[in-house]
Structures are given as C-alpha cells and as structure tokens.
Structure 1
Amino acid sequence: MDRFEAMAMLVTVTEEGSLSAAARRLHVPLATLSRKVSDLEKLLGARLLIRTTRKLTLTDVGAAYVAAARRILEDVEHAEREAAGEYTTPRGELTLTAPVMFGRLHVLPLVAQFLATWPAINVRLSFTDRNVDIVEDHVDLAVRISQLPDSTMIATQVGEMRTVTCASPALLAEHGSPERPDDLRRLPCVTVDAPILSPSWRYRVPGGSAVIEVPVASRLSLSSTEAVAEAAIQGVGVARLLHYQAARGLANGALQTVLEDYEPGLQPVHLVHVSRGQMPLKMRCFLDFAVPRLREALKTAGGHQSP
C-alpha cells in the first residue's frame, strides 16, 4: 500500500468530518477511501477512527497519528516545493480567497494584473463570505475584513473600512432622515440574510465607546450584500453595509449616508496567511504586488482618507 497516500486520505477524512465528504473532495470512490483507511489501521495495528451512522470520531491514538501525519505531509510538501524551485523561482499555483463583492471589485482586477506580470504563476481564486479555514482548505492567502482573533497567522493590514448606514434620497424625503439610531425602528430596513449576523444593528455613542444596539424590522432580507445595496438604491429601505459595498451608490448620489456620528469603529482589512517558515517566492511576489495597490484602492473604497 502507498502509506503517504493513505495518510493524506486519513487527514482529509478528519478535515471533512466524514468518509463520504472526503471521497467527494478527493474524487475517489467511497469504497476505495474506506479500504485505504482500513488498510492503514491494519498496518499500524491500531484503531484510528470510530465510525457511527451519525459521526466520525478519532480515537486517542488516531488523533496523535493524524497530528504526526499532518507534520510529515507538510514537510514532504515543503521539500517538493523546494525541489520544484518555488523557493528560488516565482512559479506554481497560488490559492486566494476573498469576500464575494470585495473580491469581484478589488481582488480580481489585481489578480489579472498580477498574472500578466508573472507568467509562471497560476492563481486559484475563491469568493466566499464565509471565513474559510486557511489550513484545512489549503489556502495560501485570504482577505479578512474584521478584527482578527489572536492566532499564529501572519496578517498584513492593507486598509480600514467604514460601516455605513445609507438610504436613497427618495426614501429619506418620504420618511425623514434618522437623527439617532433608535429612529431606525420607524423606518423600513433592508438586511443581509445570514445566520451568523445579529438581528440588531450596532452603533457607538459619539465621542465614546459605549455600544448602542438597535433591533431592526427587516422589510426585505437578501442573501448578498450587493443585492442589499441595490435594494437600498431602489428605495426599499435603509441598509447598513461596509463602505465598499455601497460605494457605487454613494458616489453617484443614489444613496446617502445617515447616522455618521454614530458609526462604529473602522474595520481593519488584512491579507492573512499561515506561517510555515520560509515563504514561497510566488507568495512573496503576490504580497509585494498586492499590498501597495490594495492600500491605494482602499483609501477611497474604505470611505476615508488614510493619514
């Protein structure tokens, strides 16, 4: 049996949480994957997984083995990259992820320029508003628009982003412009339909740090921020968005900001990657290329001028 292949399959099974999900990700038959894992258990003389109809759990021996297997596979990957010249010549595939609308507006044009500059580097670019696990999803670089938790990740800040409350001039003329966050209770609102988001909108007391939470009744709930911005332009209701999401409407007058004195603090924008010792040149090249360009773009898109 190919021990490295079986180790890699086992690691994928633990990352996906099930044999069937791992088989789909690896594009192998479920029976083949199951047999490989069983063969590995026989070789080791130890049970690695406890399988039930509802979930899959690592045994204590299995957890220790998977941790060791990850280290071995990472060392092998590092050696292969070094042998392929990724640490001496900028080449290979770079995997990036970014929020959907931010990625389309700011990352995709940048990647197109980068590819024209570095013909030996290919890019796999994924847009999602979910914070993917960089390690488990094998992502080289990710855009994050939020305060970052403490971690071993390396983060390069490229800007800051306002959170704005905005509405169409026609809606404000009809209902009146809110002077305090609590005034939103009487106005129709457009919201993003996402399970992780609070049903309340947060604001900050002017000149202080106290937080005001205002429950809003959604007149229209949508699955994307781009659609929310468009609905606000159409006069459906008041929207609360990151500045870049509303930038087009704000620039052409289709949207107006309200409650500016109550806006929460600026959200940092980072490029995040895993620290794994020596950085491949393809990643170094992209960071050197992307960071100054994103910083310049975010002076406008972020809704403020950097000092």
Structure 2
Amino acid sequence: MDRYHEMAMFDALSERPSLASAARRLNVSGATMARAIARLEARLGVVLLQRSTQGVVLTPAGSAFMADCSRILKAVGEAEASAKGLHVKPQGSLTVLMPSLFSRHVMPPMLAEYLDAYPQITLFAHYHDRFPHINEEGLDVAVWIGTLPDSSLIARPVGFVTSVVCASPTYLSASGVPAKPDDLKRHRLIATHAFKGYVHWDFQEQGSPTCIKVRCQLSCATVQAAIDAAAHGAGLIRCLNYPLHDDFENGRLQRVLQRYEGPALPVHVIYRERRSASMRVRSFVDFIVDALRGHPALHVATE
C-alpha cells in the first residue's frame, strides 16, 4: 500500500474515533486498517494512537500528523479537481476557526448565507479563543481579534472591537451610574471566569493606563453567562462589545465609562495562501470579509 492510501486511512480516524468505524467508512476490513496504521507507526518511528477498549485516542505526534495528512490530502484533491476543470465552482471541505462568541452573536446568518450560495461546500466551523495555528492544525481560514503576531499568514482587516463596561438599566437606576473607574469599588461586579474573586479591569484615564482591582460578588464560567446575569440586574460586566450589540440596541444593557475605554482591537480574517489559494478558500474569505465589514458591532471608534 502506498503512502497516500496509508495517510487516507489515518485521516479517516478524524471523524471516526475507532479503527472499526473508520474501516467501515472506507469500506475496508478492520485488519486492513490496523495493518495500515501499524505500517505508518513503524515507518515514522512514533506511536500515533493510544488504543483502549473504548476506541483510540491520538497521541501528540498523532495529532500533529493528522493535521498534516488532512492538509496534504486536501491539497491533492484540489490539484485533481483543478486538472479536471472543477475549480471553476467552489466545492469540497473548508475548516475555519473563530472566537467562541462569534458562534452565537455574529457568524450564524453569515455561514447560512454562504452555504446557500455555495451548496457544494462542506463547512467545519470551530470556535476557540486562541491564536489559530493554521498550518499545524490543518485550518483554512480563521478570524482573529487582537494584534497579529509576526506571521507569513495573509490578514485582511474587517473592523474593530473594544472592551466595554455595562449593566442593566434597572441596576443602574437602583445603584447609580459610575462616573469614573474608581466608582466601581462601590458597585457589584461580575467576573467572566469561574472561581475568580477579583476583577482586574484596565482603563485609560487622562491618556494614561490605569487598572482597577475590585472584589466581585458573582463569577461566571462563561462570558455569555455573565452577560445574561448583567442583563437581569446582577451588576456590572466588562467584555468585548460585539456580543453586546443586540443588548445595547434593545435596551437590555447600558454602556458606561465610555470615555475611559482602552484602545480598540483590530479584527482580521487570516489564511495561508494568496494567489495559490483554492477557489473554496477564496470564496469564503471574500464573502466573510464583506459580511464582517458590514456588521455594525465591528464599527467601533478607533480613537
């Protein structure tokens, strides 16, 4: 068996976390699948899978090799499609990574509209608040909030977001509106991390950075839980503005201390290739860049 087919068999485990189910997907016997993985491990000199009665789990070396296999097999498929003249219309699979709260507040209608426009695309959307390692993870496109590290990746700017402090009108009516950051010491604050007893909120005061450390009365495991608590009058929350856009529009939350907010953070769509990017990558990047640039939550002031 050649290396391509060994890699294809190993890649089948990305969707079927057992040798038997992956074998059924490829319509081969379990013994054939096991022998292919064993040959791979012997040739590479590393253990790719940890086996148990519950199935198989990738080792760190296996995870890295899986990402490389997925990327290489995808490139081979694109090369064959191009040779056949199938590259005219976007098709195939696309893997994207975006910040977690984008999955609820920004991306759903955009993804639905893109899939309506390109029905031959299969989209795998991952959500995580970390810098995307596109090459290592086999990703095609990612959205990143914040300063970009030095990288060979292509980055297209789509807007800005900023950290804001807010609370419900009911809470502010009962407890008063803070006029300056130091006033927060007399308010109920909500932390966006579980088991966190204090919040450390950074501000800009008369052009200089300042930090307020205040004990909080409520700590939430997720930002969304903290937002919901604030909307029900539990206190003040500080987070990026984009998941709050609808709450500001409908009056559930009210923004405070706006003059003390720090610099806005840039938002970019990033990907690997430029001229050599496949049609499916180019179609998604062009579509999502236009859609994000039109989203009102990314139109905050940059000064």
Give the TM interval when normalised to the shorter protein. Answer: 0.7 to 0.9
Equivalent position amino acid for 1:28 in 2: S
Partner of 2:183: 183
SS at match of 2:150: coil
1:36 positional shift: 4.2
SS at match of 2:135: coil
The answer to whether the aligner puts 1:290 opposite 2:280 as a matched pair is no
> Could you list the runs of 5+ residues in structure 2 that have no partner in the other structure?
21-29, 51-57
The answer to whether the aligner puts 1:301 opposite 2:297 as a matched pair is yes
For the structure 1 residues 84 and 282, does the alpha-carbon distance in structure 2 shift closer, same or farther, using more than 3 Å as the test? Answer: farther
1:139 positional shift: 2.3
Aligned partners of 1:289 and 1:23: how far apart in 2? 31
Aligned partners of 1:36 and 1:85: how far apart in 2? 32
CA contact (8 A) 1:206 1:261 kept: no
SS at match of 2:178: coil
> Could you list the runs of 5+ residues in structure 1 that have no partner in the other structure?
13-21
The answer to whether the aligner puts 1:138 opposite 2:128 as a matched pair is no
Aligned partners of 2:199 and 2:35: how far apart in 1? 47
Aligned partners of 2:19 and 2:114: how far apart in 1? 38
Partner of 1:121: 121
The answer to whether the aligner puts 1:234 opposite 2:224 as a matched pair is no
Equivalent position amino acid for 2:258 in 1: E
User: Identity of counterpart residues, as a percentage?
Assistant: 34
For the structure 1 residues 9 and 151, does the alpha-carbon distance in structure 2 shift closer, same or farther, using more than 3 Å as the test? Answer: farther
Partner of 1:245: 243
Equivalent position amino acid for 1:220 in 2: L
Give the TM-score taking structure 2 as reference length. Answer: 0.75
Aligned partners of 2:128 and 2:264: how far apart in 1? 22
1:131 positional shift: 4.4
Equivalent position amino acid for 1:304 in 2: V
Aligned partners of 2:117 and 2:148: how far apart in 1? 31
Partner residue of 1:278 out of 276, 279, 295: 276
CA contact (8 A) 2:159 2:266 kept: yes
**Where do 1:147-186 residues align within 5 Å?**
147-186=147-186
Show CA shifts across 1:192-232 (max 9, x none). 1279xx9412212333xx32222232322223322222211
| RMSD (Å), alpha carbons | 3.8
Partner of 1:99: 99
For the structure 1 residues 114 and 8, does the alpha-carbon distance in structure 2 shift closer, same or farther, using more than 3 Å as the test? Answer: closer
Partner of 2:79: 79
Aligned partners of 1:111 and 1:9: how far apart in 2? 30
1:236 positional shift: 0.5
SS at match of 1:156: strand
CA contact (8 A) 1:86 1:280 kept: no
Give the TM-score taking structure 1 as reference length. Answer: 0.74
For the structure 1 residues 233 and 66, does the alpha-carbon distance in structure 2 shift closer, same or farther, using more than 3 Å as the test? Answer: closer
Equivalent position amino acid for 1:259 in 2: L
CA contact (8 A) 2:143 2:269 kept: yes
1:173 positional shift: 3.1
Show CA shifts across 1:23-64 (max 9, x none). 67653339978754542454x5x7345999xx9687xxxx9x
Aligned partners of 2:59 and 2:229: how far apart in 1? 43
Equivalent position amino acid for 2:300 in 1: H
CA contact (8 A) 1:156 1:271 kept: yes
Equivalent position amino acid for 1:243 in 2: N
